[in-house]
């Protein structure tokens, strides 16, 4: 029996409250027990989730005009600079920006207690922040200085727009040198003291749709506790990374840019992070529903942690110098066990991405869909699966007429 479903059919079932939805964790054991064919026949949607530090994140803000009006040249929010080389009171605040006053790594390793990520969390939590804006003054925008407390509610518009999130696979970071390293992959103790990894494995969105058969521009997702959309393929999207027989990339591969209205998000799923000796960041919660349009799509969602492999990379030399060398591959099942083997050495492993958080997001999304509150959207085009990119002239979205 050949399984074929369209977005329209799935949405009709969701609307009727009859859609069968399981999480990307549940589908693994289901498919192992009943087989892929039978599982594909019964399941309409598989929900995924990830909750991890994603540095390439930020918000576009419109601060609302002052009287008289101002065209902001330099803008600080709680001392953190937001880029304001846009129209009058528009700005972009990046997650890793730190206040000018932060000593950074002059006092090594720097604490980075506050930065763009923390500011975003505070805004979403409804807190007021100090806005300090300066300008040179024009005939149309005479004001040269504005200073006030401002909250998200007072801003006419604010949307999260992250250029690179939810990396499909990522390095396992280790340290071969004899000194401690402070990285965006956490603290790496000398001489293979630990191995840090950073994806949710079998629950992670792009591991469940390795060739981007369903995820693309316009896919409706769980973003930061609210609703968002995949807006583009992300920066550094590299679909032609080496892949295993099951199609899952063996190295960092696909990425996506996502967008969503900040005002409906939840500070629980947008958390400011401080990485010792590295900087500030933002932990972002993302969940993507995968419509089971075919058996093939279900087969990919049913891949478990023991079938997903990540490259082990030395962050004392290979990563900073960009040599491309790896120390081999380990499975996410091994990584999650708390110990991996590198050569002859047994090395303790730890995640940076929250697996319980990922599981909760997948479960929440499942519930929204089961209740008929969350419809799936058909993307305008799927993330490019080759380096050729997208043929924008021809793109009509996947699996519509079937």
CA distance 227 to 374: 9
Residues 260-279 that bind another protein (CB under 8 A): 271, 273-276
Q: Does 170 bind another protein (CB under 8 A)?
A: no
Residue 204 interacts with another protein (CB under 8 A): yes or no: no
Whether cis (ω within 30° of 0) applies to the bond prior to 95 is no
Q: How far apart are CA 261 and CA 156, in angstroms?
A: 11
Closer of 52 and 311 to another protein (Cβ) = 52
b vs e for 166-183, b when ≥16 Cβ sit within 10 Å of the residue's Cβ?
bbbbbbbbbbbeeeebbb
219 vs 354 by CB, closer to another protein: 354
Residue 224 contacts residue 166 (beta carbons within 8 Å): no
115 binds another protein (CB under 8 A): no
Catalytic residue among 2, 140, 393, 396: 140
Does 356 contact another protein by CB under 8 A?
A: yes
Q: If binding is defined by CB under 8 A, does position 355 make contact with another protein?
A: yes
Footprint of another protein on 279-298 (CB under 8 A): 281, 283
**Nearest residue (CB) to another protein, 330 versus 376:** 330
106 binds another protein (CB under 8 A): no
Give yes or no: 140 in active site.
Answer: yes
Neighbour tally for 397: CB within 10 Å: 16
337 belongs to the binding site for another protein (CB under 8 A): yes
Query: Does 340 sit near another protein (CB under 8 A)?
Result: no
Nearest to 89 by CA among 163, 141, 129: 141
Q: Give min distance, CB of 348 to another protein, in A.
A: 5
Cβ proximity of 91 and 156 under 8 Å: no
By CB under 8 A, residue 350 contacts another protein: yes
Distance between CA 121 and CA 53 in Å, rounded?
13
Radius of gyration of the chain (CA): 22
Pick from 349, 364, 378, 379 the residue near another protein by CB under 8 A: 349
To another protein, the closest distance from the beta carbon of 167 in angstroms equals: 16
Site size toward another protein, by CB under 8 A: 32
Cα 187 to Cα 395: distance, rounded to the nearest angstrom: 44
Maximum Cα interatomic distance, the chain, rounded to a whole number of Å: 72
What the block records as the tokens of 146 is 């504005």
CB of 111 to another protein, least distance (A): 6
In sequence order, what are the residues at sequence separation of 6 or more whose Cβ sits closer than 8 angstroms to the Cβ of residue 133? 63, 70, 72, 74, 75, 76, 84, 145, 146, 147
Strands 309-314 and 172-174, by their bridges, are: parallel
Residue 138, interface with another protein (CB under 8 A)? no
- Which residue number, 116 or 186, has a Cβ lying nearer to another protein? 186
Is 331 a binding residue for another protein by CB under 8 A? The answer is no
Q: Does 113 bind another protein (CB under 8 A)?
A: yes
53 binds another protein (CB under 8 A): yes
| Among the listed residues 58, 163, 186, 225, the single contact to another protein using CB under 8 A | 186
Q: Does 183 bind another protein (CB under 8 A)?
A: no
CA distance 394 to 373: 32
In sequence order, which ranges of 205-311 are alpha helices (DSSP H)? 295-301
177 part of the interface to another protein, by CB under 8 A: no
- Quote the CA–CA distance of 26 and 326 in Å, as a whole number: 32
Residue ranges binding another protein (CB under 8 A): 51-53, 111, 113, 186-187, 189, 193-196, 271, 273-276, 281, 283, 336-338, 348-357
Query: Which residues are tagged catalytic?
Result: 140
């Amino acid at each position: 029996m050949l399984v074929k479903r369209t977005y329209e059919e799935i949405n009709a079932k969701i609307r009727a409250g009859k859609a069968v939805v399981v999480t990307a964790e549940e589908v693994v054991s289901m498919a192992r027990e009943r087989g892929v064919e039978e599982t594909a026949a019964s399941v309409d949607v598989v929900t995924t989730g990830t909750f991890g530090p994603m540095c390439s994140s930020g918000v576009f803000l419109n601060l609302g005009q002052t009287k008289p009006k101002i065209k902001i040249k330099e803008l600080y929010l709680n001392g953190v600079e937001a880029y304001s080389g846009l129209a009058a009171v528009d700005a972009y605040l990046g997650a890793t920006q730190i206040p000018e006053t932060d000593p950074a790594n002059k006092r090594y390793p720097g604490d980075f207690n506050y930065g763009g990520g923390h500011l975003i969390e505070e805004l979403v939590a409804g807190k007021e922040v100090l806005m300090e804006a300066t300008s040179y003054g024009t005939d149309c925008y005479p004001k040269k200085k504005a200073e006030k407390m401002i909250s998200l509610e007072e801003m006419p518009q604010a949307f999260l727009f992250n250029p690179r999130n939810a990396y499909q696979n990522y390095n396992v970071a280790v340290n071969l040198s004899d000194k401690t390293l402070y990285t965006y992959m956490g603290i790496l103790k000398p001489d293979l003291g630990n191995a840090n990894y950073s994806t949710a494995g079998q629950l992670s969105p792009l591991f469940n749709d390795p060739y981007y058969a369903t995820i693309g521009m316009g896919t409706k997702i769980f973003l930061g506790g609210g609703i968002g959309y995949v807006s583009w393929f992300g920066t550094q999207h590299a679909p032609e990374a080496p892949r295993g027989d099951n199609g899952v990339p063996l190295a960092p591969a696909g990425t996506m840019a996502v967008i969503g209205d900040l005002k409906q998000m939840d500070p629980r799923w947008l958390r400011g992070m401080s990485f010792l000796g590295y900087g500030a960041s933002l932990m972002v919660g993302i969940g993507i529903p995968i419509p089971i349009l075919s058996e093939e799509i279900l087969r990919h969602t049913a891949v478990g942690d023991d079938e997903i492999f990540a490259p082990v990379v030395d962050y004392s030399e290979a990563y900073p110098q960009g040599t491309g060398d790896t120390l081999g591959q380990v499975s996410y099942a091994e990584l999650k066990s708390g110990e991996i083997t590198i050569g002859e050495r047994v090395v303790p492993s730890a995640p940076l991405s929250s697996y319980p958080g990922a599981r909760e997001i997948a479960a929440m999304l499942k519930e929204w869909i089961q209740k008929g509150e969350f419809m799936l959207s058909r993307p305008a085009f799927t993330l490019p699966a080759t380096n050729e990119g997208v043929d924008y002239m021809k793109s009509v979205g996947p699996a519509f007429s079937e």
